[in-house]
Amino acid sequence: MFVTNNHADFVGLCANAELHTGLVVLPQRQRDAQLPLFSDAIAHIERHAAQASEAPADWMLNRVVEVDEESAACRDMPLPR
């Protein structure tokens, strides 16, 4: 899984891979302000993986989890093809 602040470049790069381990996109913030957002993203991944009866790593395959800049809410979607 890759973690980045650069949505535009990394979504495009990851989408070119046939199989990708997943991408987490955090908003651009000071490092100490990003750590809680990363924890929220991990909790989102674990919760949705459990609901799907999958291991978190399996659930993240070819998926993007993005933390919203304003609300800090997490959303997930398949990597675009």
Domain extents in the chain: 2-78
Tokens of 45: 């991944």
SS3 content of the chain, % helix, strand, coil (to 5): 40, 20, 40
Average pLDDT over the chain, rounded to an integer: 88
Q: Is the pLDDT of residue 12 over 90?
A: no
pLDDT band for 17, please (50, 70, 90 cuts): confident
Q: Is the pLDDT of residue 76 over 90?
A: yes
Q: What is the value of pTM for the model shown?
A: 0.87
